[in-house]
């Protein structure tokens, strides 16, 4: 088969024909010069484009762009309690903006927005001419940016006054127009533009200026917001009311000219005032728990990062929804109780100068506003002394108002110096005052003493309240989580719980007598002592705990073994300690949060819980990205796409048993006696089942109370940040326990009175409270906390035994026995000749007690 062959084109002839036609044109000098000029201009344009376009956002990044959003924090009940924001912004979709608002901004900023391709060329020419003129005469040229260019400026985050910035804006504006629709560009603009009062976006500004959503804005209100993109400070509704009205009316007239509204509507709107609210008066919720929120913020920063560059879920740009465990009622009660306790302890020590002042030749209001001073109480305020004379001082506040501080309201002596505090006041000093009357104030002092308070849910470990000091403003040091302090006697339950696991019982006899240990030739004897310096002789373990006897604790620790006690402390998360006997008296350092969690484990019958402040975190789209309990990872399948036909997965029990449940309950039962008869009897007035333990360290430098109910455990400590003596009268039962009592009166007011439930196997036996011996025939008097007979909790086969000789019971039964129920001496009793018929027991409980076999 013959192959087909195609004729090869004669390219030489074709080239000659092209040159024959084109060369005559290029032979003309003006055409040749124009061609060279065009080629050079095109090359220059490409080079400039490539130079300025480098580093600009790509089309893909523009399509996926999300503006920075603040993180919102909610409490235990789901209500908002705070935000983490540097830019107040609420993101809305384009369809959520009413046409009234859209038309107002288009009329004010870019009336040809829907017609141009990103650049308004007539406006650009005018802006170039104005820039050229101002370059000669001086001054700043007027802007000529379209809405698209303003979005480009926002994306570039460049506010420099330079031609290069405008070129980059123009290039990015073209890219925006080619990538996004007009509606998408306008949505970005309305959500991103800064409108003053720290409001970014129209919805945030609508709340900041009118306390309304955008859907509820009136015509003049929408027109005023459209004024603000030019320069929010120039049209401030308070400082520049007239300029704001003039500019707002201009926008209304532009809307009428563009046929968005009728002239009659514009005229009616121009006659109305601005109608804005005072800055800061639109808070929809009161931010609570400064220390709590700060601790949450720190944990979120460590997990998700701070800025947008750190990831899509950053704290200040990711728009996170954070659900915390904070219960606002408990938080308020804890903060109020701690502040009252700190102020009461510190109040009698005189007035303390803050050491802060302002320059009276400058704006003292702004300086006072910036002063990092927290006042704690709602009715305390920071003020600056403006003048003094005539037995009174004029003081000023951050909002510009003034008041009077009479000398009679500042008579307390200045701490460390002496003399009435009023005599030490000088103009420019920043002070703390409390309002007494309409315009009269009294001098107050920020307590120097510090402290921490934590409240935790027993079953889950969720932290319901946390207060780390007097006020987080000016002192972000969280004493509830960061301050390592010696717990003193509040550590003793750890010692006795370990002893209960290793053979001792609540009725075991411990000797309250001198106890010394040999520390070596260099150190000699170390002798321990009780707080009061006295001795009580042989007593029950319960009595030793209730009265917080150091010598009995040291003996129990020595008998049990310090290696076991420090192991228990480590299991409870208190810390790693060396096995020294002094640790049994609370010489090892820990924090309030850790100690409260250890008591929560005791109340939870030895099941481990871990303290958490955050329940879960959602991203801006509602997807859960963190959960404190990791339930879905443990359950496997709770995020399945569809139902598999089986039963709904149940969260497994995540609590590990770290203590013997019976020993843990015994310890809690003993600590109930601390409230009934011991060092925390002030809490008995609450009239509900409670347990707890006070603590006082050597000095005393710290005072403690930790305890609570079957559902809630709390702990509080007071002490100086640089530890020093608080005074010889300072004790946990006198200072810390009343603070907890004030909290409990407010927090537990409407809660049911729930008793502590014993775990399986616990035997409740009647014993003599003093001797620890078993009692028959007599029941405890529940109305009398100091009843001689009490119910005591024993582990199986550890309760005091009755005599094995029936004759002893028949002869009197209550012969003296030791702590194990054995007869103290052999006593021969004669059996009656004719045994009396036993009387039928009045109830089954008494029958069981008489038989001594079932509990």
Q: Are 467 and 334 in contact (CB under 8 A)?
A: yes
What span, in angstroms and rounded, lies between the C-alpha atoms of 511 and 532?
A: 16
Proportion of the chain above pLDDT 90, given as a percent: 59
What span, in angstroms and rounded, lies between the C-alpha atoms of 693 and 673?
A: 10
Q: Under 8 Å CB-to-CB from 804, ≥6 apart: which residues?
A: none
**Has residue 429 got a pLDDT over 60?**
yes
Residue 165's SS3 state is helix
pLDDT band at residue 319 using 50, 70 and 90 as cut-offs: very high
Sign of CA dihedral 83, 84, 88, 90: negative
What span, in angstroms and rounded, lies between the C-alpha atoms of 822 and 802?
A: 7
What span, in angstroms and rounded, lies between the C-alpha atoms of 452 and 110?
A: 56
pLDDT of residue 813: 42
Cα-based angle 768, 769, 772 (whole degrees, multiple of 5): 60
pLDDT of residue 159: 66
Q: Under 8 Å CB-to-CB from 24, ≥6 apart: which residues?
A: none
Q: What DSSP string describes 3-29? A: PP-PPPP-HHHHHHHHHHHHHHHHTSH
pLDDT of residue 161: 64
Query: 310-319, 341-350, 824-833: lowest mean pLDDT where?
Result: 824-833
What span, in angstroms and rounded, lies between the C-alpha atoms of 37 and 611?
A: 75
Over the stretch 641-686, which tens digit does the pLDDT of each residue have? Answer: 677 777 766 666 667 899 999 999 999 999 999 999 999 999 999 9
Task: With CA atoms as reference, report the closest residue to 422 among 404, 397, 402.
Answer: 404
| Residues labelled catalytic | 109, 489
Q: Under 8 Å CB-to-CB from 471, ≥6 apart: which residues?
A: 290, 339, 374, 375, 376, 446
**Has residue 843 got a pLDDT over 80?**
no
Residue that has been written with the tokens 């006070």 in this structure: 694
Residue 435's SS3 state is strand
What's the chain's Rg over C-alpha atoms?
39
Give helix 147-156 / helix 182-192 axis angle, nearest 10°.
Answer: 60
pLDDT band at residue 266 using 50, 70 and 90 as cut-offs: very high
**Has residue 534 got a pLDDT over 70?**
yes
What span, in angstroms and rounded, lies between the C-alpha atoms of 710 and 754?
A: 7
Over the stretch 402-417, which tens digit does the pLDDT of each residue have? Answer: 999 999 999 999 988 8
Q: Are 613 and 621 in contact (CB under 8 A)?
A: no
**Has residue 848 got a pLDDT over 70?**
no
**Has residue 510 got a pLDDT over 70?**
yes
pLDDT band at residue 126 using 50, 70 and 90 as cut-offs: low
**Has residue 560 got a pLDDT over 90?**
yes
**Has residue 527 got a pLDDT over 60?**
yes
pLDDT band at residue 827 using 50, 70 and 90 as cut-offs: very low
pLDDT of residue 287: 64
pLDDT of residue 831: 42
**Has residue 832 got a pLDDT over 50?**
no
What span, in angstroms and rounded, lies between the C-alpha atoms of 636 and 68?
A: 34
Most confident of 579-588, 645-654, 809-818: 579-588
Most confident of 102-116, 125-139, 710-724, 836-850: 710-724
Question: What is the rounded average pLDDT for all residues in the chain?
Answer: 86
Proportion of the chain above pLDDT 70, given as a percent: 86
Q: Under 8 Å CB-to-CB from 42, ≥6 apart: which residues?
A: none
Sign of CA dihedral 528, 533, 537, 541: negative
pLDDT of residue 750: 86
What span, in angstroms and rounded, lies between the C-alpha atoms of 258 and 103?
A: 9
Q: Under 8 Å CB-to-CB from 496, ≥6 apart: which residues?
A: 504, 541, 545, 553, 556, 667, 670
What span, in angstroms and rounded, lies between the C-alpha atoms of 7 and 16?
A: 19
Task: With CA atoms as reference, report the closest residue to 707 among 730, 675, 677.
Answer: 675
CA 486 to chain CA centroid, nearest Å: 25
Residue that has been written with the tokens 């006690």 in this structure: 565
**Has residue 786 got a pLDDT over 70?**
yes
pTM of the model: 0.82
Task: With CA atoms as reference, report the closest residue to 456 among 802, 136, 714, 726.
Answer: 714
pLDDT band at residue 810 using 50, 70 and 90 as cut-offs: very low
Mean pLDDT, residues 147-175 taken together: 78
Structure tokens at 777: 């025939």
pLDDT band at residue 782 using 50, 70 and 90 as cut-offs: confident
User: Could you tell me where the beta strands, DSSP code E, fall in 24-87?
Assistant: 71-74, 80-84
pLDDT of residue 285: 52
Query: 167-171, 210-214, 566-570, 694-698: lowest mean pLDDT where?
Result: 167-171
**820 or 389: which carries more pLDDT confidence?**
389
Sign of CA dihedral 498, 503, 505, 507: negative
Task: Report the run of H or E that residue 432 belongs to, with start and end.
Answer: strand 430-435
pLDDT band at residue 3 using 50, 70 and 90 as cut-offs: low
pLDDT band at residue 116 using 50, 70 and 90 as cut-offs: confident
Backbone angles phi, psi at 379, to 5 degrees: -95, 10
**Has residue 631 got a pLDDT over 80?**
no
Sign of CA dihedral 526, 531, 537, 541: negative
Most confident of 313-322, 470-479, 818-827: 313-322
pLDDT of residue 139: 58
Over the stretch 645-655, which tens digit does the pLDDT of each residue have? Answer: 777 666 666 67
pLDDT of residue 120: 76
Query: 66-70, 383-387, 845-849: lowest mean pLDDT where?
Result: 845-849
Task: Report the run of H or E that residue 30 belongs to, with start and end.
Answer: helix 29-53
**Has residue 824 got a pLDDT over 50?**
no
pLDDT of residue 357: 93
**Has residue 632 got a pLDDT over 60?**
yes
CA 643 to chain CA centroid, nearest Å: 38
pLDDT band at residue 755 using 50, 70 and 90 as cut-offs: very high
Mean pLDDT, residues 292-321 taken together: 93
pLDDT of residue 840: 41
Cα-based angle 109, 114, 115 (whole degrees, multiple of 5): 105
Q: Under 8 Å CB-to-CB from 333, ≥6 apart: which residues?
A: 465, 742, 743, 746, 747
User: Could you give the maximum distance between any two Cα atoms of the chain, in Å?
Assistant: 155
Cα separation values, 492 from 550, 562, 583, 663, Å: 9, 12, 9, 14
* Helix ranges restricted to H, 258-397: 263-270, 290-304, 328-347, 364-370
pLDDT band at residue 141 using 50, 70 and 90 as cut-offs: low
User: Could you tell me where the beta strands, DSSP code E, fall in 75-230?
Assistant: 80-84, 88-89, 199-200
Q: Are 494 and 599 in contact (CB under 8 A)?
A: no
**Has residue 818 got a pLDDT over 80?**
no
């Amino acid at each position: 088969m013959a192959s087909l062959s195609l004729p090869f084109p004669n390219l030489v002839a074709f080239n000659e024909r092209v040159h024959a036609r084109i060369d005559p044109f290029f032979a003309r000098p003006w055409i040749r010069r124009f061609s060279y000029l065009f080629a050079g201009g095109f090359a220059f344009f490409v080079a400039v484009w490539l130079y300025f376009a480098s580093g600009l956002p790509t089309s893909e990044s523009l399509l996926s762009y999300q503006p920075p959003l603040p993180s919102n924090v909610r409490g235990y009940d789901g209500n908002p309690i705070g935000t983490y924001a540097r830019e107040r912004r609420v993101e809305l979709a384009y369809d959520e903006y009413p046409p009234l608002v859209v038309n107002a901004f288009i009329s004010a900023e870019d009336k040809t927005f829907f017609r141009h391709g990103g650049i308004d060329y007539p406006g650009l020419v005018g802006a170039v001419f104005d820039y050229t003129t101002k370059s000669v005469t001086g001054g700043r040229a007027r802007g000529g940016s379209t809405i698209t260019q303003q979005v480009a400026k926002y994306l570039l985050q460049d506010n420099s006054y330079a031609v290069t910035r405008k070129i980059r804006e123009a290039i990015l504006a073209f890219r925006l127009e080619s990538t996004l629709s007009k509606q998408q560009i306008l949505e970005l603009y309305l959500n991103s533009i800064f409108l003053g009062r720290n409001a970014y976006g129209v919805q945030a500004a609508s709340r900041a200026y009118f306390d309304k959503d955008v859907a509820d804005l009136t015509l003049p209100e929408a027109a005023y917001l459209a004024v603000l993109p030019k320069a929010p400070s120039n049209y401030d509704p308070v400082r520049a009311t007239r300029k704001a009205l003039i500019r707002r009316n201009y926008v209304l007239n532009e809307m009428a000219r563009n046929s968005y509204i009728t002239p009659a509507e514009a005229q009616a709107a121009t006659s109305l005032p601005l109608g804005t609210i005072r800055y800061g008066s639109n808070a929809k919720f009161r931010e609570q728990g400064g220390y709590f929120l700060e601790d949450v913020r720190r944990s979120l920063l460590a997990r998700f990062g701070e800025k947008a560059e750190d990831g899509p879920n950053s704290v200040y740009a990711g728009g996170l929804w954070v659900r915390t465990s904070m219960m606002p009622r408990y938080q308020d009660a804890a903060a109020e109780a701690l502040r009252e306790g700190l102020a009461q302890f510190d109040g009698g020590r005189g007035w303390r100068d803050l050491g802060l002042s302002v320059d009276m030749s400058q704006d003292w209001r702004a300086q006072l506003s910036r002063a990092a001073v927290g006042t704690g109480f709602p009715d305390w305020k920071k003020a600056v002394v403006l003048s003094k004379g005539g037995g009174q001082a004029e003081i000023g506040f951050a909002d510009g108002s003034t008041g009077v501080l009479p000398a009679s309201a500042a008579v307390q002596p200045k701490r460390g110096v002496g003399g009435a505090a009023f005599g030490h006041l000088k103009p420019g000093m920043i002070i703390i005052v409390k309002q007494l009357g309409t315009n009269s104030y009294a001098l107050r002092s920020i307590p120097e003493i510090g402290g921490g308070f934590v409240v935790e849910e027993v079953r889950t470990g969720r932290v319901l309240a946390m207060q780390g000091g007097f006020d987080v403003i000016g002192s972000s040091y969280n004493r509830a989580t960061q301050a390592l302090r010696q717990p003193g006697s509040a550590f003793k339950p750890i010692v006795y719980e370990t002893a209960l696991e290793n053979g001792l019982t609540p009725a075991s006899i411990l000797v309250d007598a001198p106890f010394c240990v040999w520390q070596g030739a260099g150190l000699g004897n170390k002798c321990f002592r009780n707080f009061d310096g006295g001795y009580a002789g042989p007593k029950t373990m319960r009595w030793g705990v209730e009265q917080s006897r150091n010598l009995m604790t040291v003996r129990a620790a020595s008998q049990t073994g310090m290696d076991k006690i420090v192991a228990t402390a480590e299991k409870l998360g208190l810390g790693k300690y060396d096995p020294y006997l002094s640790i049994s008296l609370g010489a090892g350092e820990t924090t309030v949060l850790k100690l409260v969690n250890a008591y929560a484990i005791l109340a939870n019958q030895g099941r481990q819980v871990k303290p958490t402040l955050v329940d879960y975190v959602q991203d801006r789209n509602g997807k859960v990205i963190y959960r404190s309990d990791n339930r879905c990872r443990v359950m496997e399948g709770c995020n399945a796409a569809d139902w598999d036909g089986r039963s709904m997965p149940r969260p497994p029990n995540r609590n590990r048993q770290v203590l013997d449940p019976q020993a843990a309950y015994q310890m809690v039962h003993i600590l109930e006696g601390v409230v009934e008869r011991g060092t925390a009897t002030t809490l008995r007035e609450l009239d509900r089942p409670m347990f707890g333990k006070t603590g006082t360290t050597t000095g005393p430098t710290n005072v403690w109370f930790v305890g609570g109910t079957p559902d809630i455990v709390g702990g509080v400590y007071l002490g100086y940040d640089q530890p020093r003596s608080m005074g010889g009268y300072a004790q946990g039962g006198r200072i810390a326990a009343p603070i907890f009592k004030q909290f409990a009166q407010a927090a537990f007011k409407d809660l049911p009175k729930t008793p502590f439930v014993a775990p399986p196997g616990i035997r409740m036996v009647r014993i003599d409270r003093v001797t620890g011996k078993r009692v028959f025939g007599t029941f405890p008097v529940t109305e009398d906390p100091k009843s001689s007979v009490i119910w005591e909790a024993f582990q199986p086969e550890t309760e005091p035994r009755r005599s094995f000789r029936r004759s002893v019971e028949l002869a009197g039964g209550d012969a003296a026995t030791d702590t194990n129920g054995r007869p103290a001496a052999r006593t021969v009793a004669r059996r009656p000749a004719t045994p009396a018929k036993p009387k039928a027991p009045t109830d089954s409980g008494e029958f069981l007690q008489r038989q001594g076999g079932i509990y």
